[in-house]
Amino acid sequence: MKSIVLSGVVAALLVFSGCSTTEPAVDNKAQEVEKPVAQEVEAVETETVSTEDSMVDSSANTNTQMSMSDVESELSAVYFAFDKFDINSEMQTKISKAAALGKDGAVNYNVKLEGNCDEWGSDEYNFALGLKRADSVKKALVAEGIDGSRISMVSYGESNPVCSNKTQECYAQNRRVDFKLLP
């Protein structure tokens, strides 16, 4: 009997104290925080684009785009062994060629290194491995004389395959780092 009364009192307290007719203050603050951050990013982005556009217009806009595609077509992917992120000697020559292009033909561009993996392993593991592969290539490019501030990295894990067959040759094509030029 005592437990029934005690549980009834606890239930009544929960009902009366748990209901509120006012909006939580946290939601309003979250909305206020998001708006200024988005506006700040847009303002910076607009300023940067307009500055670069005026600089590009003073040179030659079509030549810049063509040379960017020309340079990007000469950059080839760096491939890795299964479950590895170290660079072998054959791939080091590709990195040396990319570094030479970065010093001569692509001085005005930044580079995005895209780390990729095959489908073996968990998503978390493959994202980490893709980032380690991109970091290995970045370190090799910096060792070749490329400024590290010009290089950004991203890992796609297993989500960006170039081949989807279930063969060893296909898996080997997906274990790579791709070069993408950024203006």
**CATH code (residue 176):** 3.30.1330.60
| Number of Cα atoms under 13 Å in the Cβ half of residue 175 | 21
| Statement to judge: residues 71 and 128 lie in one domain | yes
| Statement to judge: residues 98 and 177 lie in one domain | yes
Q: What order do you get walking across the sheet with 176-182 strand by strand?
A: 78-79, 176-182, 110-116, 151-157
Q: Please give the mean pLDDT across all residues of the chain.
A: 76
- pTM > 0.85: no
Backbone φ, ψ for residue 22 (5° rounding): -90, 155
In a domain, 7, yes or no: no
In a domain, 44, yes or no: yes
In a domain, 139, yes or no: yes
pLDDT, mean of residues 86-105: 90
In a domain, 16, yes or no: no
Q: State residue 18's pLDDT score.
A: 58
Domain count within the chain: 2
- pLDDT over 60 at 31, yes or no: no
| CB-based contacts of 32, cutoff 8 Å, min separation 6 | none
Which H or E run contains 58?
A: helix 25-58
In a domain, 164, yes or no: yes
Tens digit of each residue's pLDDT (9 = 90 or more) over 105-149? 778 889 999 999 999 999 999 999 999 999 999 999 999 999 999
| Statement to judge: residues 44 and 73 lie in one domain | no
In a domain, 14, yes or no: no
Among 13, 33, 58, which residue terminates a domain?
58
- pLDDT over 90 at 65, yes or no: no
Q: How many Cβ atoms from other residues are within 10 Å of residue 114's Cβ?
A: 20
Tens digit of each residue's pLDDT (9 = 90 or more) over 104-114? 877 888 999 99
- pLDDT over 80 at 42, yes or no: no
Q: How far apart are CA 134 and CA 13, in angstroms?
A: 57
Which H or E run contains 34?
A: helix 25-58
Which residue range is the domain that position 36 belongs to? 25-58
| Statement to judge: residues 81 and 136 lie in one domain | yes
Residues 156, 161, 162, 167, Cα dihedral to 10°: 140
